[in-house]
Each structure stands twice: as structure tokens, then as C-alpha cells.
């Protein structure tokens, strides 16, 4: 799987070796003269979106009928449960662990300059996220042999909190990058940005300079890719639940682990 990932990146990089203008072939890292290809970043973002989508499916159908990336849904579940005698515990666990993870990521990336390409601090934080997800995937494989109802055991509650903490770390780690219109966890914002961008693109297309028009197109394509990755990873998670239940946790764990390892080993670190 890693070999396919690297082969794809290599092919994308070769396509960008002949830029139209000097400096357009890469995103430069913090003034060191080193560069990170845009294709590397894009593939990494798609893999992180896939991790979030699969983790949401895993948590809702396997751990506790609560989301680990969709905090809007958890907030609604908590509010409804107040007077309808619903489940306060599992949305509460997920929400608290998510915000704890986001705060933890903010601490680890506190020295990252806003708008940085992809500093080492972000990769380190994603490595921490992958550790939580790998641990949760192993625990799920060991304890998930019996098809228990989601949220029916304390062990599942612990796993729910662990996965929510990991996804919170991912959200917090991505925040300093400030990539316009791109979010890898809360997909409602991506849908909103995509629809807004499409509307503006078609209504103002004739007045837009060619360079800005290309940038708009690339951004919307990436937003569409994020949505597709999130959806397809949820489909894959449903497939695993049906035919390979014990492997459900592998998809988010491996996705984040590959991104973290690639970021730490295949690019020199910036001074962030």
C-alpha cells in the first residue's frame, strides 16, 4: 500500500517539474530553499479525509452511536437527549475527547507560523494521532470478536474516546496550515465552501484573470476530492463491517500513519 502511495506521488511530481513560471512547481518550506510538492500535500489531505470518514463510520456503528469527526451531530444528539431521555454519555465522551485532542494539537503546533506549508511539528502531531488510532485498531481487533451493541461495554467507551481524541488531534494539527476552503474532518464546511466556490466561479468567470481562474478550479477539484474520499472511506468501512469486522480500525489507522511517516521521512524539516 505504501509503495502505491509513493509511486503515485512520484508520478505527480514529474508532471510538475516543468513549471510555467519560476517557483510555481513547488510550495517552498519556510525559507530554506527546500520544497514540498503540491501533489504531496494534496494526497496527504485526501488520506486524512479518508481517515476521518472511516473513523466516523467506525464510531457510530461500532463504538457508541456517536461521531468522532462530526461535532455538529454530537452537539445535536446531546441537546435532544436532555428532554427525550436519550444517550448523553457517548456524544459527551466523543465531544470532550475531541476538544481535548484539538487542544493537544494546538499545544504541539503552537510555534508553527500560520500558512506554513507542512512543517515537521504537524507531522509529529499526526504521528501521535496515528499512535492512538493504531492502539484503538488493535484493541478493536482483540475485543470486537463478539458483535456487541455499540456503547454496551466500558471497553467500547474507552475506544470511542481514544478515536475521538485522535481525530481532534488531526483537526487541530491541520488548522495552522490555513489551506483555503479545505478541511479534512468537518465536512459540512467543505460542502459549503465548494458550493460557494462553484456559484462564484460560474457567475464571475468572465471577469476573472486566467491565473486566478486556474487557482479556483484547482481548489474546487480538491474540495470535491476531499468529499469523495470521505464518502468512499465510509463506504469501505461499511464493507468491512459486513465482511471483515475486526479490520474496521485498520483503514483510519493506516491512512494517518502513512501520512505521518511520509512527512517525517521524505522531506527535510523546516524551522517551525
Summarize pLDDT for 145-193 with one digit per residue, the tens: 666 777 778 999 999 999 999 999 999 999 888 776 566 776 777 777 7
pLDDT of residue 61: 93
pLDDT of residue 217: 73
Cell 475521538, residue located: 164
Quote the mean pLDDT of the chain: 81
Residue 9 has pLDDT above 50, yes or no: no
Mean pLDDT for the stretch of residues 95-116: 92
Cα–Cα distance between 217 and 198 in angstroms, integer?
Answer: 9
CA 173 to chain centre: 10
pLDDT of residue 57: 95
Mean pLDDT for the stretch of residues 115-126: 88
Percent of the chain beyond pLDDT 90? 52
Cβ neighbours of 210 (radius 10 Å) = 7
Selected residue with higher pLDDT from 56 and 36: 56
For the entire predicted model, the pTM comes to 0.79
Cell 470521505, residue located: 230
Q: Which of 85-89, 201-205, 233-237, 262-266 is least confident?
A: 201-205
Indicate the DSSP class of residue 176. G
CATH 1.10.730 fits 36-265, yes or no: no
Domain ranges of the chain: 36-265
pLDDT of residue 272: 45
Q: Under DSSP, is residue 125 helix (H, G, I), strand (E, B) or coil?
A: helix
Selected residue with higher pLDDT from 96 and 221: 96
Selected residue with higher pLDDT from 17 and 215: 215
Mean pLDDT for the stretch of residues 80-99: 93
Decide: 233 and 250 in contact? Cβ < 8 Å: no
Indicate the DSSP class of residue 184. S
pLDDT of residue 33: 32
The C-alpha cell at 17 is 517539474
pLDDT of residue 173: 93
Residue 270 has pLDDT above 70, yes or no: no
Q: Is the dihedral of CA 83, 87, 90, 94 positive or negative?
A: negative
Convert the pLDDT of each residue in 198-235 to its tens digit. Answer: 787 777 655 555 555 566 677 788 888 889 999 999 99
The C-alpha cell at 239 is 464493507
Amino acid at each position: 500500500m505504501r509503495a502505491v502511495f509513493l509511486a503515485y506521488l512520484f508520478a505527480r511530481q514529474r508532471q510538475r517539474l516543468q513549471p510555467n513560471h519560476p517557483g510555481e512547481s513547488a510550495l517552498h518550506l519556510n525559507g530554506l530553499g527546500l520544497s514540498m510538492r503540491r501533489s504531496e500535500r494534496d494526497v496527504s489531505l485526501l488520506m486524512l479525509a479518508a481517515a476521518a470518514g472511516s473513523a466516523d463510520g467506525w464510531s457510530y456503528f461500532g463504538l457508541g452511536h456517536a461521531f468522532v469527526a462530526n461535532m455538529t451531530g454530537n452537539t445535536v444528539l446531546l441537546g435532544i437527549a436532555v428532554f427525550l431521555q436519550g444517550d448523553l454519555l457517548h456524544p459527551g465522551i466523543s465531544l470532550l475527547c475531541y476538544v481535548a485532542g484539538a487542544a493537544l494539537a494546538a499545544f504541539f503546533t503552537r510555534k508553527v507560523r500560520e500558512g506554513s506549508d507542512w512543517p515537521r511539528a504537524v507531522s509529529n502531531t499526526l504521528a501521535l494521532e496515528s499512535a492512538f488510532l493504531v492502539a484503538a485498531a488493535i484493541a478493536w481487533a482483540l475485543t470486537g470478536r463478539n458483535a456487541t451493541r455499540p456503547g454496551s461495554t466500558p471497553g467500547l467507551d474507552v475506544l470511542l474516546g481514544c478515536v475521538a481524541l485522535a481525530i481532534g488531534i488531526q483537526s487541530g494539527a491541520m488548522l495552522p496550515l490555513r489551506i483555503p476552503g479545505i478541511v479534512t474532518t468537518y465536512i459540512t464546511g467543505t460542502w459549503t465552501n465548494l458550493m460557494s466556490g462553484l456559484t462564484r466561479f460560474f457567475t464571475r468567470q468572465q471577469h476573472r484573470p486566467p491565473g486566478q481562474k486556474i487557482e479556483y478550479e484547482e481548489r474546487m477539484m480538491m474540495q470535491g476530492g476531499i468529499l469523495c474520499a470521505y464518502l468512499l472511506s465510509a463506504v469501505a468501512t461499511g464493507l468491512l463491517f459486513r465482511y471483515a469486522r475486526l479490520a474496521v480500525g485498520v483503514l483510519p489507522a493506516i491512512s494517518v500513519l502513512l501520512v505521518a511517516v511520509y512527512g517525517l521521512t521524505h522531506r527535510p524539516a523546516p524551522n517551525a
